[in-house]
Amino acid sequence: MSNASATHPTRRGILAAGGALGLGAVLAACGDDDGQSGGSGDKAGGGSAAKSGPWSFKDDRGTTVKLDKVPTNIVAFTGVAAALFDYGVQVKGVFGPTTTKDGKPDVQAGDLDVDKVTVLGNEWGKLNVEKYASLAPEVLITTTFDTAGTLWSVPEESKDKVAKLAPSVAISVFDRQLTQPLQRMWELAESLGADMKAKKVTDAKAAFDKAAARLRAAAKARPEIRVLAGSASPDLFYVSGTNLSVDLEYFKALGVNFVEPSEAAKKATGGWFESLSWENVDKYPADVIIMDDRASTIQPADITEGTWKKLPAVKAGQVIARSPEPILSYDKCTPLLDNLAEAIENAKKVG
């Protein structure tokens, strides 16, 4: 799914794991692989994450985490925290891109109130273990981008220490369509006490379904429009393949005509992408370009390369944002569908 930071190409395919140093109390509940039924375990019910009673959740690694009560001391990757926030679940601490240099919420923070969470690391792969321990975490929640269940953005060098402090839950965003992790995040939020019958929640789901139908119709009406998914770094331009990214796999399933990197190039990066020099950025003709919106990449307005500015799609103003690490709530994923549908609907054939 996510193609990770453009300046760290290995993170596009083989992802770093996370763990940590365990200061003090290891919680009574720990993960196992007992094969209990998937999805959320014992429902918290109601709309309050403070409901009492045992809690369990089987994650996408097949690991079931069990606690004596619904956790409230939750630490999560920023994008996961943002998704849970949309469902009314507040986390205590976050790790990952959270605020920009001027203190504003990062694009991956969504509507999260960044002043009400403890930031344990404000970039990918950073997690302050001592700060983490001080929060007395009951569970750590993040995503995973590989078959091994590697915890996204948890530092490899401290993963064992992190694991001793609290059990972890991972939602997979690897080699599947967007709707699957969206459903899993829904189930997780529900298990944590979110009111999934609230009008805000049901309206967001209905809006997503409407946007999906719109994108399918746009792709069917304009099959000639070629869409390229790109990401920019100072030295290289990355063209993403669609086979592993949850957003691109879903858009493709809806009929969007994507430009695909060569098979040889994708093989060299584990199937994720092809890297091009800026001199060769015009290798693949495209009518619409969707660009990685994360702070770790160069945004279209800041690209100064002349070869970029000469691209037909760029000259035609047919460049929009893409979120390779989408916030997994229906509210935040709906604009991704609508924006792409609008771009295809209005695109001129230029590539």
Q: What angle do CA 172, 175, 181 make, to 5 degrees?
A: 40
Query: What is the token pair recorded at 185?
Result: 């995040």
Tokens of 116: 């009400």
Q: For residue 72, how far is the Cα from the chain centroid? A: 22
Beta carbons of 33 and 64 less than 8 angstroms apart:
yes
CA angle (324, 135, 85) in 5-degree steps: 40
pLDDT of 43 > 60? The answer is no
Average pLDDT over residues 251-257: 98
Q: What is the pLDDT of residue 50?
A: 47
pLDDT tops 50 at residue 263: yes
Is the model's pLDDT at 275 over the cut of 50? Answer: yes
Strands (E), 265-312: 273-277, 288-292
Between the CA of residue 97 and those of 100, 125, 236, what are the distances in Å?
8, 9, 22
| pLDDT score of 70 | 97
Q: Which of 192, 211, 72 is nearest to 135 (CA)?
A: 72
d(CA 258, CA 241): 8
Which of 58, 65, 11 lies closest to 39, judged by CA? Answer: 58
In sequence order, the β-bridge partners of residue 99 are 105
Contact 195, 45 (CB under 8 A): no
Q: How confident is the model at residue 34 (pLDDT cuts 50, 70, 90)?
A: very low
d(CA 273, CA 260): 9
Over 60: is that where the pLDDT of 334 sits? Answer: yes
- In the chain, which residue ranges form alpha helices assigned H by DSSP? 78-86, 129-134, 159-165, 179-191, 199-221, 246-253, 263-268, 306-309, 312-315, 330-346
Q: Kindly report the number of other CB atoms within 10 A of residue 186's CB atom.
A: 21
Report the alpha-carbon distance of residue 29 to residue 274 in Å, rounded.
43
User: What is the number of helices (H) and of strands (E) in the chain?
Assistant: 10, 14
Is the model's pLDDT at 255 over the cut of 50? yes
In this predicted structure, what is the pLDDT of residue 3? 40
In this prediction, residue 53 carries a pLDDT of: 77
Quick check: 66 and 58 in contact, CB under 8 A?
no
Report the distance separating Cα 46 and Cα 197, nearest Å. 10
Distance of CA 258 to the CA centre of its chain: 20
CB atoms < 10 A from the CB of 148, how many? 12
Mean of the pLDDT values across residues 170-175?
97
Residue 270 has pLDDT above 60, yes or no: yes
Confidence check: pLDDT of 1 > 80:
no
- Provide the mean pLDDT of the chain: 87
